[in-house]
Chain A
Amino acid sequence: MKVRFWGVRGSIPSPGPHTLRYGGNTTCIEIRSDAGELIIIDGGTGIFALAQSLLKQLPIKANIFITHTHWDHIHGLPFFTPLYIPGNSVRISGAYDVVTSTGIDQIMAVQLQYSYYPVREVEMHAAIEYETLAVGAAVTVGDATVTNAILNHPVINLGYRVECNGKSVFFTGDHEPYYNIYEPEDEDYEEYQQLIAEKQSAVDEAVRGVDVLIADCSYTEEEYPSKRGWGHGTFGSSIELARRVGAKKLVCTHHEPTRSDDELERVFAAALARFEVGAGDPEVILSREGLEIDL
């Protein structure tokens, strides 16, 4: 299995001289199974560069899994060039939206409204399929299997685990560690703590033993208190998750859009020191556009 990062930035594309080394495109991860099946997680702006690379391999059969429908994870989708070319097939999978009672099939319909985009979906000539995933459902993609777990974000967000011939990758999408909404003196505090423990344990099981954990590390520990409830993790929360589940490698992603390359390296080094990452720990690295991991 091979993992390649095409977009690593959170929230909004951030091109410019300060993000040249890590990249300014928003989330898009390509995973190739051993047999070469194409799995793409999220359609942020990084998917455009991926699309260009795929044009040399037509026709393609792409399996796009969407962690959640916030813009930075979908706004490259209409620019996924293979969608326009007959002979390609694209299957887009993602969660059911409980607030609007719609499935993932609405994802592009919303983006392709007349005022916002000039092309209608019927004018895209690839064979496009949608699959709204039940939480926990397993999807077979050739020699790979993709399962999901519901994580914690201001919209339904599925973390995906991709497995192929005994190797595994888990991508959280956007995820904030669970926290108690009550104060310790509140009557409901203990009950809520118990609910969190149960849910966290289920999430840990979904990630357990993974070879590569790609996790939302938007904030530093210092930044987090003022961002609580925004739905993102920290370097610390991801290191702790990786340790708990015995991940072999942790790739920190969803870099803050305001963070320059130098600043990103500085806060990353500080996090490694603060959490005393060393021998016996998972290897911890930063994601960057173009990074490839072979499994």
Chain B
Amino acid sequence: MDTIPADTAKKLSTAVERMPAFPKSVQKILEITRNINCRPKELVSVIEKDPVITMKVLRVVNSAQLGLTTKITSVNQSVVYLGQNTVKNLALSIAAIGILPSTNAAGFDIQRYLMHSLTTASFARQLCGIYAPNEVDPGDCYIAGLLHDFGKIVFAQYMSEQFKQVLAVSAERKVPSCVVEHEVIGADHTIVGAMLAQKWQFPQALIDCIRTHHTQDAPNTGMNDCLRMGDLISRQLGDAKGTHPYREGEAPINPQRFGGDLAKVIAALGDMDKLVADAMSFAQVSLSK
């Protein structure tokens, strides 16, 4: 398996700790927390829509310094363990770093990235309820979906020149960016995302999911399957809007548990319009874009 050089890994993990979050969540956190009686559930709802803040909250709550023996897998669980005020102040300290700029030197569309992460997360959670009940926690599938492509935003932010080249070559040759990431960077976003998750002592199932979400022969665990199917459905929807045009060559990951008919799986999820509209609104993606 590809690995990234130790010095690059260290540089990236340190950099990510200072990484700003997405504009809408920063704005909402500042707005909500102005009220001393802010409702913790509103705060949770904002945090769990932002991959950067969620990643950082999970990093802190699972940190060796704190030393919890239980692995924490969700924002709600973080609130139970750390208390609502501590989570609020963590969110505020992340919000204080600033906001991710909407444009970056790599030319990577962070709004589309957020939209894809949010829809994949929601689909993975819903799929879990239907296809993997009692096998895995739906909330864990949500987090897997939210964080599965985290490596990409890290590339865009901190390896922007190389990632710009990745995106250009990917567009030119019409191949998925993760293939080109290997050629240009030496490792793809799944490896970088998993490296961070491992360094920050996330639960093993989550690390594995992030690492293997593009691996054809990855184990068919409930979380893996729901994440990859959620990812696929999100990309299908994206394809319809012309945002993921280079995935045709990639065989769909369609494990046995879903029955082999993607249309049926999508139908089983019911009306997705509101879910997609909410994600778009949060990611500030314009429908006409």
> A residues bordering B, Cβ < 8 Å?
95-96, 98-99, 101, 103, 132-137, 150, 152-157, 178, 181-182, 186, 188, 191-192, 195-196, 199, 202, 229, 231
Contact = CB atoms under 8 A, between A and B. Distances in A.
Contact of A98 (B76, B90, B139): B90
Interface of B: 37, 39-41, 44, 60-61, 63-70, 76-77, 79-86, 89-90, 93, 139
B90 A99 contact: yes
A229 B84 contact: yes
Nearest to B37: A229
A79 B85 CA distance: 29
Contact of B69 (A135, A153, A154, A186): A135
Nearest to A152: B83
Please indicate which of the listed interface residues A95, A96, A98, A137 has the most CB atoms of chain B within 10 Å of its own CB.
A98
Nearest to A199: B80
Contacts of B93: 99
B80 A178 contact: yes
A160 to B, nearest CB: 15
A155 B44 CA distance: 17
Contact of A231 (B40, B67, B85): B85
Given A95-B66, A99-B90, 5 more contacts: A134-B67, A136-B68, A156-B82, A181-B76, A181-B84
29 contacts: A95-B66, A96-B65, A98-B65, A98-B66, A99-B86, A99-B89, A99-B90, A101-B65, A132-B65, A133-B67, A134-B64, A134-B65, A134-B66, A135-B66, A135-B69, A154-B86, A155-B83, A155-B85, A156-B86, A181-B41, A181-B44, A186-B41, A192-B80, A195-B77, A195-B80, A196-B80, A199-B80, A202-B70, A231-B85
B267 to A, nearest CB: 22
A98 B67 contact: no
A103 B65 contact: yes
Contacts of A98: 60-61, 63, 65-66, 82, 86, 90
* Consensus secondary structure, chain A interface: loop
Contact of B66 (A96, A153, A191): A96
A135 B67 contact: yes
Contacts of A202: 70
Nearest to A178: B80
Contacts of B37: 229
A188 B74 CA distance: 12
Nearest to A154: B85
Contacts of A157: 83
- Of all A-B residue pairs in the complex, the 9 with the closest CB atoms, nearest first, are A134-B67, A154-B85, A181-B40, A96-B65, A99-B89, A98-B60, A181-B41, A195-B80, A135-B67
A155 B76 contact: no
Contacts of A103: 65
